[in-house]
Structure 1
C-alpha cells in the first residue's frame, strides 16, 4: 500500500512526512485549513472537517488505506464506508470501545487491566451512595473529546462536585473516577502489525503541569517489574483489539509500585516524539509500516537516554521565536522540531526539542529538561 490517507492534519500527521518519504509512501490528508501543519508535507489534501464523512469518502478514493491523526471522528458514518470496502487501520472496531472514556474504562476493566475505580454520572441526585466507595478528592472527566487536561477537573469535596455538575448542561457526558496520588506518570508506545507482531518502545516518564505534558524522560527510571507490568498491558490491549498501527498508553505508577492505566490514545502520541531522534525506528515510521503492511522496525534507543520538552505557547502571538529556537538548537545533541503553526496561544503545542544523552543519569536528564524550559519560557 503506497497511498495513505490521514484523517487530521496537525503536527502528528506532519511528523509522518519524513517517514513517508523514506518508505516511498504518499500521504493524502483530510484537514480543515490550508495552514494546518501536515498540508506542507502532503501529496494531496482534502480540505474538510475531521468528522466530515463525505470528505473521507473522497479521501478514500485517493488512498489505499486510511489512518487517523486524532480520534475525534464520526465512527457511525465511517462504518458505512468500511462496509463498502474502505480499509481503515486501525480498524474501526478497535476504536469504538475507546472514544468514550467511560466505555474505555469499562473495556479495560473487563480485559482485567488495572484501572482506577470509576462510575458514570447518570443520576446526579443519587451520587452519594456511589461516592462512598471513593474518597475525595475525585476526578470528574468529560467522556468525549478531552485531551491535554481539557474536560478534566480535580474535585475536593461533595459540595464542590455538586456545584460543578450544576454548571454542566449535559451531566451524563461525564464520569467520576478515583483520584490516584501517583508517584509518577508513565507512558508506553506500542505498535502491532497486520500479522499480529507487537513491538514496544521503552517505557518513559511523562511530567505534566496543569495536566499538559511538559517533559518526557526516556527511559523511565523504574524497576524491571514495573517495565514488565507496562509491557504486559500494551500486549494485552493491542492483541485484544487486533490493532494495526501505533497506540499511546498513559499510565500511573502508584506509591506502592503498581502500574495503572490512565488513558489510551489510539494513534501516535506526544510521549513518543523522542523516538524520531532517539530510536532506530520512530513511532511515525512504525505507524506507517504497520498500516502499509510492512515489517515493523526496531524500537530500541540508540543512545543511553533522551529527553523531550514540549514547546508550548505562553502568549497570543504570531512570533516565530527564532531566538529561543536557535539557543535550543545550539545545545549539544539537541534537535528542534518546529510545527510551523501560524500563531501562538497559551498551551498550544508549537514544537518540541529532543536532546540525546550518552550516559544513563536521571538527575542530569531532569536538570537538562529544566534548562531547556528556562530557555523557552520567559522568566
Structure 2
C-alpha cells in the first residue's frame, strides 16, 4: 500500500529530526504533542495539540494519517489497544511495545527469550532487598535521561530514597562494574528485513549521555554479539520500526542489555550526518514500507556530543554555537527550545572523522570545553 501520511505521537526533537527524511520520502508528518513551542511543531504538516497519552486525541490523529509511529513511549497502552482493535495501524504494533514499557517487564521478557541482562528483582520496600550494595534502583515507568534511576550504596540511602518514592513502582538490579557502555540502532520492516547500524561507544555522566563515538573500538566478537541480540529481539517482537539498545560491556567481553528504546535514540543521532540513511529516515522507511537501504557509515567515523543545559535560563547560546560550528567537519543541530535547564538536551553536534589520526575523545572534550565554559 502507499503510505504518505504518518502520525507521530510526540513532538520533541526526535520528531523534529524526521523532517528531512519525510521530505525526501514524500511523507506528510501529523504530530500529536501538547505544546505550541515543542520542536516538531515547526516542521509538521499538521499538529494535534494534546498530551501524548490522550487516546481521544490519538483517535483524531488516526483519522488524518495512514499509520502511527512513536517519538517516545510514554503512552496509555490500554487506551490505544482499543483504537488498534478498530483497525488503527500502529508501527511498531502495541503488542510489540507491550513487554517493553515497564522496565521490570522488559527485563523479564529479555530474560525469557535468552538475552543477557543484569540480575534484577521487584523492590516493594527497603527490607525486601536481597542484593549486595551498591545497587541500581529504577522507576519501572517513565524514566529517561537519568530521571528515575538511582545508584544506591547503603541501606540508609535506600531507606531515604523510599520516602519520596513510596507510591512509585520500583525495581532493583545489580550494579555492573562495566568496562564500557555501548549501543546499537537496528531497524526491521514488515517483511522481516533487519538492518543494524555500527555499534557505538557511549559516555554517560549522571546517567545522561554526554557523547557517542562511532564506530566503537571493540573486538569483532563483541560487535557480532550486539548485532545478534538486536536481530533476535526485533524478530521475537515482530517489531516494525527502529530500536535502540544500550549495553554494558563486562571485563569478560560479554554484553548485558541495560536499556531499550523502541524508537529513534540519542545514541543514533550521529547517523544524520555520518550515514547515507539516518535513523530518522530508517524509521520512516520501515513504517511506510520503503526499502530500508544502507546503514553504513559514509566516513571513517564520527563523534556526537550532546549540548546539555547547565543553567536555568532563556538563552540561544549563539556565540558558543558559532564557535562549535567552526570545528572542521562539524554539523550542529539546535532544537530551538526556548528554555534551558540543568541536563536538558538543547542540541547536539556531530563531527565526522576523515583521517585515522583523529582522536574522537579529544574532539568531544574540545566541544565540551566550549559549551560548558560558562559565560
State the TM bucket, normalised to the shorter chain: over 0.9
Q: 1:260-299 residue pairs with structure 2 within 5 A?
A: 260-299=256-295
**Corresponding position of 1:65:** 67
For residues 123 and 150 of structure 1, the distance between their equivalents in structure 2, rounded to whole angstroms, comes to 20
- Residue deviations 1:55-75 (CA, integer Å, cap 9, x gap): 000000000000000000001
Runs of 4+ in 1 over 6 A off after TM superposition: none
Quote the offset at 1:369 in angstroms: 0.7
For residues 11 and 195 of structure 1, the distance between their equivalents in structure 2, rounded to whole angstroms, comes to 29
For residues 353 and 55 of structure 1, the distance between their equivalents in structure 2, rounded to whole angstroms, comes to 34
- Residue deviations 1:340-363 (CA, integer Å, cap 9, x gap): 0111111110000000011245x7
Quote the offset at 1:297 in angstroms: 1.4
Quote the offset at 1:318 in angstroms: 1.5
Normalising by structure 1, we get a TM-score of 0.96
Matched, 1:140 2:137: yes
Instruction: Find the residue that maps to 1:187 and give its secondary structure.
Output: strand
Q: 1:220-231 residue pairs with structure 2 within 5 A?
A: 220-231=216-227
Instruction: Find the residue that maps to 1:345 and give its secondary structure.
Output: coil
C-alpha contact (below 8 Å) 2:39/2:335 kept by paired residues: yes
C-alpha contact (below 8 Å) 2:201/2:213 kept by paired residues: yes
Residue 211 of structure 2, aligned match among 208, 211, 215: 215
Q: 1:1-379 residue pairs with structure 2 within 5 A?
A: 1-122=3-124, 124-127=126-129, 131=130, 134-170=131-167, 173-360=169-356, 364-378=359-373
> Relative to structure 1, is the Cα distance of residues 167 and 39 closer, same or farther in structure 2, using a 3 angstrom cutoff?
closer
- Residue deviations 1:233-277 (CA, integer Å, cap 9, x gap): 101110000110000001101112111100100100000000000
Instruction: Find the residue that maps to 1:354 and give its secondary structure.
Output: strand
C-alpha contact (below 8 Å) 1:216/1:307 kept by paired residues: yes
Unmatched tracts of structure 2, length 5 or more: none
Instruction: Find the residue that maps to 2:15 and give its secondary structure.
Output: helix
C-alpha contact (below 8 Å) 2:125/2:162 kept by paired residues: no
C-alpha contact (below 8 Å) 2:306/2:348 kept by paired residues: yes
Quote the offset at 1:164 in angstroms: 1.9
The alignment's C-alpha RMSD in Å is: 1.1
> Relative to structure 1, is the Cα distance of residues 212 and 193 closer, same or farther in structure 2, using a 3 angstrom cutoff?
same
For residues 55 and 316 of structure 1, the distance between their equivalents in structure 2, rounded to whole angstroms, comes to 32
C-alpha contact (below 8 Å) 1:184/1:252 kept by paired residues: yes
Instruction: Find the residue that maps to 1:314 and give its secondary structure.
Output: coil
For residues 35 and 192 of structure 1, the distance between their equivalents in structure 2, rounded to whole angstroms, comes to 32
For residues 233 and 145 of structure 1, the distance between their equivalents in structure 2, rounded to whole angstroms, comes to 24
Instruction: Find the residue that maps to 2:166 and give its secondary structure.
Output: coil
Quote the offset at 1:160 in angstroms: 2.3
C-alpha contact (below 8 Å) 1:305/1:360 kept by paired residues: no
Report the number of matched residues. Answer: 372
For residues 360 and 167 of structure 1, the distance between their equivalents in structure 2, rounded to whole angstroms, comes to 50
For residues 163 and 29 of structure 1, the distance between their equivalents in structure 2, rounded to whole angstroms, comes to 40
Instruction: Find the residue that maps to 1:27 and give its secondary structure.
Output: strand
Instruction: Find the residue that maps to 2:47 and give its secondary structure.
Output: strand
